[in-house]
C-alpha cells in the first residue's frame, strides 16, 4: 500500500530528475552531520599505505573490527587480512570481528575461470582450521548478482573508520607488484564509527536474509527469496542515524549517506544537489566512463553556466576488465572499449569546451596497473568519498554508501589539492575526441563483437547493468 501511495511521487522524480537549485540547496542544508575536527581526517596516499594502516589497526584493535566490502579474495592479499583477523582474535578473545561481503560474489569463482565454490571455500577452511570467532556474512542485495550487489564500503576498527572503494585482494593491496588505485581515508571519530557499526547491526546482522558463509551448511539462494524481498524493502527505508551537530571553526561536517534503488535514493539525490549547486569548479572521478543520464545532463547545465569541470577516468588499458590482445579474448573484455566509445561521444559533443579548457578530461595510466577511483570535489569546500562508480548500475541496482564532507572553513583544502595533484602525475589531458584510439584499430574480435552489440542495441543494455 505504501508503494502505491508513493507511485505519483516516484513517477514525478523519473520524469523530472532535477530539482530546482533552491530545492537542492535546501536538501543539503537540512542534512544532519557529525562535527569532526579536520585534523582527525587523513588522506592515505596509496594502496601500500592503506594496507599498512589496515593491518596495523587490526593488530591494535581492542573492541571491534567490522569490515564491509564487495569481496575478500582467496589469494595472498585476502589471506593476509584473514590471518590478521584470526591473530587479533587469538590475542583478544573478547574482540568482536565481523566481515560482510556480497553473498553471490563470495560463492562463485572468478569470471573466465573454472567453476568453484569461490571465496566462501576459503572462509570455511579458515573457520575449520582456526576455530570460531571471525564471523563472515554474505549479504544478498538481490536474487541474482547481475541485478544488484553489496557495494557498501567501510572498515570500522574501534573508533576509527577506514574508508575506501577498494575490496581486498592482491591487486587492491599491492601485493604482487601490481596495484589497483583507489582513494583511502582515515577518520578518527567514535560517534561516526558507532553510527556505521549500528547500521550493520540493525540491517545486516539482524536481517533474515544475511547469512554466515563460514559455516558447514549454507542455505541456497532460492530458499532465501522471501527474506531477500523483505531485506530490500528494509533497505528502501534504511538510513544512517546521524545527529545535528554544531560545527566549530576547526571542524568538518561529515554525513554518511546510503544509496539504494532508483528513487528515494539519498546518495543519488545529494550527488545531484551538489553538482547543481557548484559555483566554480567540479572534479569528478570515475573508473568506468558510463555516467547516469541525470549526471550527464547536470554536467551539460554546468558547462552552459560557465563552470569549470575536470573528469578523471582510467585509460581503457587501466580498466580492470581490460584483456591485452595477446591473451585469449573473453566477452567481458569488451567493456573497456564500450566505455571508451562512451567517452568518445561525450568528448565529441563537448569539443568546444575541451578546446577552451573549460572541460578537462584526464586519462589515467601507470604501466599495467589499474584505476578504480570514485568521488567528487565541488568548489573548495565539499568532497564526497564513496565506492559509487557513478554509473547506471550504481545509480539504480547496487547498495552503495558514501561520506559527504562539507568544509566551509577550508580546513581540508590543502589535503584535497595534494590528492588531486598526485592523481594527475599519471594522467594525460584529452586534447579532443580524435586523441582516443580509433575503433578501426581495435582488435578484430573486439570490432566484430562491438558491431554485433550495436546492431542489436545490446550495448545500451550493457551500459545499464555494468
Average pLDDT of 6-33?
66
- The residues assigned a catalytic role are 151, 182, 372, 400
Query: Is residue 273 within 8 Å of 25, Cβ to Cβ?
Result: yes
**pLDDT at residue 226 above 90?**
yes
Laid out side by side, the sheet with 382-386 consists of 34-37, 251-259, 400-406, 382-386, 375-378, 281-285, 308-314, 359-364, 427-429
In tens, the pLDDT along 71-115 reads: 999 999 999 999 999 999 999 999 999 999 999 999 997 655 556
Predicted confidence at residue 14, as pLDDT, reads: 46
* Confidence band for 117, pLDDT divided at 50, 70 and 90: confident
In tens, the pLDDT along 333-367 reads: 999 999 999 999 999 999 999 999 999 999 999 99
In tens, the pLDDT along 275-318 reads: 999 999 999 999 999 999 999 999 999 999 999 999 999 999 99
The pTM is what?
0.93
**pLDDT at residue 17 above 50?**
no
Comparing 117 with 282, the larger pLDDT belongs to 282
Place of cell 564513496: 386
Average pLDDT of 200-212?
97
Predicted confidence at residue 49, as pLDDT, reads: 97
Predicted confidence at residue 211, as pLDDT, reads: 98
* Confidence band for 465, pLDDT divided at 50, 70 and 90: low
Average pLDDT of 398-412?
97
In tens, the pLDDT along 120-129 reads: 999 999 999 9
Longest dimension (CA), the chain: 63
CA neighbor of 386 nearest in space, from 284, 248, 289, 280: 284
For the record, the C-alpha cell of 405 comes out as 564532507
Q: Is 371 helix (H, G, I), strand (E, B) or coil?
A: strand
Residues facing 428 on adjacent strands: 363
Predicted confidence at residue 7, as pLDDT, reads: 55
384 Cβ contact partners less than 8 Å away, ≥ 6 residues apart: 270, 271, 274, 375, 376, 402, 403, 404, 405
Which residue ranges form the domains of the chain, and what is each CATH number? 7-33+248-466 (3.30.870.10), 39-241 (3.30.870.10)
Place of cell 554518511: 256
CA atoms within 13 A on the CB side of 442: 24
For all residues of the chain together, what is the average pLDDT? 93
Place of cell 566505455: 339
Amino acid at each position: 500500500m505504501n508503494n502505491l501511495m508513493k507511485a505519483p511521487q516516484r513517477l514525478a522524480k523519473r520524469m523530472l530528475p532535477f530539482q530546482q537549485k533552491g530545492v537542492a540547496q535546501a536538501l543539503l542544508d537540512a542534512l544532519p552531520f557529525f562535527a569532526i575536527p579536520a585534523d582527525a581526517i587523513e588522506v592515505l596516499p596509496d594502496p601500500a599505505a592503506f594496507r599498512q594502516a589496515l593491518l596495523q589497526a587490526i593488530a591494535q584493535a581492542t573492541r571491534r573490527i567490522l569490515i564491509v566490502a564487495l569481496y575478500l579474495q582467496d589469494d595472498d592479499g585476502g589471506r593476509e587480512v584473514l590471518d590478521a583477523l584470526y591473530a587479533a582474535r587469538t590475542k583478544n578473545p573478547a574482540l568482536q570481528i565481523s566481515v560482510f561481503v556480497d553473498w553471490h560474489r563470495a560463492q562463485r569463482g572468478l569470471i573466465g575461470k573454472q567453476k568453484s565454490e569461490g571465496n566462501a571455500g576459503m572462509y570455511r577452511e579458515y573457520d575449520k582450521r582456526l576455530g570460531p570467532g571471525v564471523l563472515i556474512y554474505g549479504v544478498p542485495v538481490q536474487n541474482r548478482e547481475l541485478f544488484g550487489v553489496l557495494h557498501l564500503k567501510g572498515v570500522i576498527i574501534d573508533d576509527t573508520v577506514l574508508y575506501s572503494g577498494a575490496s581486498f585482494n592482491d591487486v587492491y593491496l599491492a601485493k604482487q607488484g601490481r596495484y589497483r588505485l583507489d582513494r583511502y581515508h582515515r577518520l578518527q571519530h567514535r560517534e561516526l564509527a558507532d553510527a556505521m557499526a549500528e547500521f550493520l547491526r540493525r540491517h545486516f546482522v539482524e536481517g533474515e536474509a544475511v547469512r554466515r558463509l563460514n559455516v558447514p551448511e549454507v542455505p541456497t539462494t532460492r530458499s532465501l527469496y522471501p527474506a531477500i524481498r523483505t531485506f530490500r524493502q528494509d533497505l528502501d527505508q534504511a538510513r544512517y542515524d546521524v545527529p545535528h551537530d554544531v560545527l566549530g571553526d576547526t571542524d568538518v561536517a561529515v554525513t554518511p549517506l546510503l544509496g539504494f534503488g532508483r528513487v528515494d535514493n539519498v546518495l543519488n539525490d545529494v550527488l545531484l544537489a551538489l553538482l547543481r549547486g557548484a559555483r566554480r569548479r567540479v572534479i569528478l572521478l570515475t573508473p568506468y566512463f558510463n555516467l547516469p543520464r541525470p549526471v550527464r545532463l547536470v554536467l551539460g547545465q554546468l558547462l552552459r553556466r560557465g563552470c569549470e569541470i575536470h573528469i578523471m577516468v582510467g585509460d581503457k588499458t587501466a580498466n580492470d576488465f581490460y584483456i591485452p590482445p595477446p591473451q585469449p579474448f573473453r566477452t567481458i573484455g569488451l567493456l573497456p572499449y564500450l566505455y571508451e566509445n562512451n567517452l568518445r561521444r561525450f568528448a565529441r559533443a563537448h569539443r568546444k569546451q575541451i578546446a577552451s579548457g573549460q572541460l578537462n578530461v584526464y586519462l589515467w595510466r601507470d604501466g599495467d596497473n589499474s584505476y578504480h577511483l570514485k568521488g567528487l570535489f565541488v568548489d573548495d569546500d565539499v568532497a564526497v568519498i564513496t565506492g559509487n562508480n557513478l554509473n547506471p548500475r550504481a545509480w539504480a541496482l547496487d547498495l552503495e554508501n558514501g561520506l559527504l564532507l562539507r568544509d566551509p572553513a577550508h580546513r581540508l583544502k590543502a589535503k584535497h589539492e595534494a590528492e588531486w595533484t598526485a592523481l594527475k602525475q599519471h594522467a594525460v589531458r584529452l586534447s579532443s575526441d580524435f586523441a582516443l584510439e580509433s575503433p578501426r584499430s581495435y582488435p578484430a574480435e573486439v570490432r566484430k563483437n562491438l558491431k554485433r552489440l550495436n546492431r542489436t542495441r545490446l550495448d545500451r543494455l550493457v551500459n545499464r547493468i555494468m
